[in-house]
A and B are shown apart, each in its own frame.
Chain A
Amino acid sequence: MSSKKAFRVLGKRTIRKDGIAKVTGQEKFSSDIILPNMLYARMLKSPYPHARVKSMDVSGAEEMGAVALTPQEIPDVKFCPRLVSTPEATYKDWKVLSEKPVYVGEPIGAVAAETEEEAQRALEAIKVEYEPLEATFDALDSMKLRQQLHDEILLKDEGIKVKNNVGCHLDITEGDVEKGFGEADVVLERTYRTNRRYQNQLETKSVVVRPEPGGGITVWSTTQSIHNSRLLLHEIFGIPVGKIRVMKVAAGGFFGSSIQVNPVVPVAVALALKSWRPVKMTYTREEDLHDHVSYQMIFNLKLGAKRDGTLTAGQLEAYLDIGGHQIQAYPLLGCVVGWWVSLYKLPHIKYVGKAVYTNKVPSCAFRGYGSPQITWAVENLMDELAEAVGWDPLDFRLKNYIGLGDVFWGQGPTVKCIVQSCGVEEILTKGAEMVDWYHRPRPEEQTGRYRRGIGVGRGFHTSSAGAPVPSAVVDFGGAILKLNEDGTLDYITALMDHGGGTMTAHAKIIAEELCVPLENVNIVQGDTQTTVYDVCTHASRGVYAGGGAALKVARKVKDKLRDYAAKMLDAYPNAVKFRCDRERGQGVIYAEGVEGKELTFEEIASTARYKNWGTIASVESYRQPSCPPHFTGYFVEVEVDTWTGKVKLLRVVAGADIGTVINPELAAAQVHGGFLQGWSMAIIEDTPYDPENGDLMNRGFINNYKIPPPPDLPQLDDFTVFFAHTYEPTGPFGAKGLGEGALNPVAGAASNAICNALGVRFYELPITPIKILRALKEKEVE
């Protein structure tokens, strides 16, 4: 269902508003900020995966003239760096600087000096005595370990004891799975193990903090939420909220790695407060690799189906390897089951989820927040199950997918909505036609060296965590819009643009609603003092929720304009109309049919000034009524060289249902980027650990973390992206999100393609050439 409305700016090709700054190198990122009198800071990191810090002697550093910071100098506050959940769902086990580090790379101290080189020397002059403790590197082993990584953690500010190194758990049962499996003709159960991918955002975590006279601080940092950063710093340091000014600044990619306040931020704040000078801390790439990573997951997945193609029941046991600390493990447990049950209709479900501590880099969200992992597993099992019940895998999916009218779990069990727009049919049938799905190769018919396969993967992601009722997830935003004296508008929001063009989308929504040229909407780079609360740019909520807020303030401004225009035109406010006058470069309000009765926004604004009527502006918060899923589907064609195990990517056909498409080229770009991340997830990414020293095998060096470059990707003509024709009634002009849906089903499609080529299925990621050759050899032996 689509609303075939002709939009003036939405859906048109436009240049992104922050584009000139980016292509000329003038865009300032946190890591670019340089202030007068600034100190350069370096983090002291634990070299052990698990240890007690017995003593720390910073005299060597201080003798060099550096400012040193020890854990004792920081307020003794245990916190969770991510402030998206409500208190009853927030587990706290972090300190700013640890005295009992639980992963190699954990911050245990810091220094700041006049130059980076001096700071580095000062860092090396710090003497630390450690008592190494037993360490664990596998979630399943962790649960058997006697020693707990954390003896006591906080939940809603109350201490709870950790058992079996399980940080938190979640069990959900709906219906009767035994009955459901009993009704099935085929029941399949498999174990899946994902990789531990690193977000690899190009800008490493950075912060600059400037102490202000009167006890305040100004902060520029890599963050997805300026307001949550402010709140956390208030929680830790006690500085009044209004005195913490967190600036909105461009960032070199997030992919979920700064939903939480990154460890560099409170450390730099402490150094700035101690030295009374601005402090900058930019992580090196190797430090960044020790800072955050995605959630590695182990699934025992069981699905039952009848020969008539219906699914009867599902059971999922999920182990999340969360590393040394919790960032958002508990909400993630809910999201994993939510994504799982929202892929296909399961009449009965049983879910047992455990988040387990290991002595590894702490896990945090990576685009999709558990969905790439569970979708990979499910899409694989759906292929196997389809074959077992004698159904084509695509038809099997078409028969069972959660779609229009079904319940969708937008962000775990406490955030649900009913699907009101759905393009899954269009995506899958159109894509199938493009790749000639029903005539795709059969693995048993291929015997040569090079084998081809086509695989499908479908999925979705939520567009924000909005819903009609409150939940365990804070999700709302807000915006400010004001009319300038020349008829242009200033738009201010705390929502961040990761690079997807979210701000431009907001500007287009405003321009569309108010009938002004796009150039007339200025995007103001605000801060926490000049914006109202927005929870965070994550959960693919930038356009749906953020754009919703933009639309809300645009409508309020429109109403005020209407009133003032009516006054000036001596017309009725509810009868005047808006149009865009390109020649004059203005929005115009007119009384239809009456010649001469029209005003430009500029005329209204300047009259409002001379007549002292006031500024035409609006400040609003906005809570989205829903969490509509945006749907994606990928058809991937590969060719496997059975002599080297290398997989060549031949062709990609991708369909996306995002409701109204606001920025077509940038939306397609989300699909391109999400696809490469998913492809890379399927075949190469991982951060293995060295059991000898408990550190990353690659020590943090990025030369071992390869992502396929352009020559390894299909030709432009072989990568097709199309959008379904849908309209989301609860979204601004019918729009939904896209960011995470662009990634979620890709690894599933890629794995299925490789399996179609080889007749061998893989239950562990990444599917490397080494694993492929090994599997082919084993198959030969059989």
Chain B
Amino acid sequence: MYINKLNTHIIPIRFEYHAPTSVEGAVELLSKYGEEARLLAGGTDLLVKMKQRLVEPKYIINIKKIKELAGINERKDGIHIGAATKLRTIERSKMIKEKLPVLHEAVISIGSVQIRNMATIGGNLCNASPSADSATALLALDAKARIFGPEGATIIPLEKFFVGPGQTILKPNEIMVEVSSPHLTEDIGTSFMKVGWTSFDIATVNIAVVLKLEGEAVNNCRIALGACAPTPIRTHRAEEFLKGKELTSEVLEEAANIVSEYVRPRAHWRRAPSEYRKAVSKALAMDALTIARKRIEGM
């Protein structure tokens, strides 16, 4: 039974290993092997799951040799990040720190230096944990995902990418190729916040705010919330509420209350009950909005 199947000393199963050098090659293999294959990026999620016997792929497709899957590119329409880009590369990118600071904040909160030297942004997103920190930040950025399958490429809003806990919209023969974010204009302030039990932990709650003011009033506000629902989500009702309003303390508190209403208890929530997540999502919403506004003023 389960306890005797566990052995984190080793990878307790055998598999066939492939390391294609092109996206098409990867998709071909995925089409061939379907559900029995898994993509290997950083390995910090996949190998752990294999050691925990939660997944036992017969075929491993290492995508790190596909050059076009990694890299950060600034284009007119936004910033494009290859799915196999290491989190540490994103962390070290001065451009991302300057132009997408909320993503930078999210990425540096993930794991440790060692983990970020291995893990990739695509892996973090495709693993689709509801608490994935980069997901929360990217959702607030209105990011898009580029997916490649046998029929070619499609681009979808990241909000549609997550379907359930650990589940994405990807078909077995599809691969996420890149994620992109539109540019942020200068009058935008952002903030990413996370509460874990220690500073080396996944999120019990995380939140990302992208805030644009017009004078004193909110022109546009995007608030994404993680670890509070089956997927990371946007809190559209709170965003709607804030439009056109001044960020007084009453408005802030009301918006934060609306954010906390998005907390949807899950049957097997062991980490923290929904009452806790409600309280903390409210606190983080207030903090993040306050900081985002301060950052606009600071500019």
Contacts and interface: CB of A to CB of B under 8 A. Distances in A.
Task: Please say whether the chains A and B touch (CB closer than 8 A).
Answer: yes
B7 A285 contact: no
Interface residues of B, number: 29
A652 B275 CA distance: 32
A116 B198 contact: no
A499 interface: no
Interface residues of A, number: 42
A230 interface: no
B6 A770 contact: no
Contacts of B78: none
A646 B52 CA distance: 30
Nearest to A282: B9
A706 B6 contact: no
A701 interface: yes
**Which secondary structure dominates where chain B touches chain A?**
loop
A583 B277 CA distance: 68
Interface in B1-44: 1-10, 12
A697 B268 CA distance: 11
7 A-B pairs closest in CB distance? A643-B283, A47-B1, A711-B199, A706-B198, A709-B200, A770-B276, A47-B3
A287 B5 CA distance: 11
A389 interface: no
B6 A643 contact: no
A768 B272 CA distance: 10
Contact of B195 (A46, A290, A644, A700): A644
A123 B4 CA distance: 7
A646 B195 contact: yes
A775 interface: no
B129 to A, nearest CB: 12
Nearest to A773: B279
A646 B196 CA distance: 9
Interface string B258-281: 000000000000101101100110
B10 A706 contact: no
Contacts of A285: 8
Contacts of B198: 684, 706-709, 712
A709 B8 CA distance: 23
Contacts of A707: 198
Interface in A737-782: 768-770, 773-774
Contacts of B200: 706, 709
A549 interface: no
Interface string B105-135: 0000000000000000000000000000000
A105 B199 contact: no
A42 B3 contact: no
A484 interface: no
A124 B4 contact: yes
Given A117-B10, A641-B283, A706-B200, 20 more contacts: A46-B3, A47-B4, A105-B3, A120-B12, A124-B5, A126-B4, A643-B280, A643-B282, A644-B283, A699-B2, A700-B3, A706-B198, A708-B198, A709-B200, A711-B199, A712-B198, A768-B197, A769-B276, A770-B272, A773-B275
27 contacts: A47-B2, A47-B3, A47-B4, A105-B3, A116-B7, A120-B10, A123-B4, A126-B4, A284-B7, A285-B8, A286-B6, A641-B283, A643-B283, A643-B286, A644-B195, A644-B279, A645-B276, A684-B198, A699-B6, A700-B3, A700-B6, A709-B200, A711-B199, A712-B199, A768-B197, A773-B275, A773-B276
Contacts of B216: none
B187 interface: no
A285 B279 CA distance: 34
A709 B199 contact: yes
A287 B9 CA distance: 11
A284 B12 CA distance: 13
A121 to B, nearest CB: 8
B214 interface: no
Nearest to A697: B270
Interface centre among A646, A707, A711, A770 (most CB of B within 10 A): A770
Nearest to B277: A770
B201 interface: yes
Contacts of A45: 3-4
A697 B9 CA distance: 21
Interface string A102-129: 0011000000000011001101101000
Contacts of B6: 284, 286-287, 699-700
A695 interface: yes
Contacts of A120: 7, 10, 12
Nearest to B282: A643
A286 B280 contact: no
Given A701-B52, A708-B198, A711-B199, A116 B283 contact: no
Contacts of A124: 4-5
A773 B1 CA distance: 39
Nearest to A710: B199
Interface in B161-211: 195, 197-201
Contacts of B10: 116-117, 120
Contacts of A290: 3
Contacts of A126: 4
A769 B284 CA distance: 14
A44 interface: yes
Contacts of B283: 641, 643-644
Contacts of A709: 198-200
Interface centre among B5, B9, B10, B283 (most CB of A within 10 A): B9
A124 B6 CA distance: 10
Contacts of B275: 773-774
Contacts of A284: 6-9
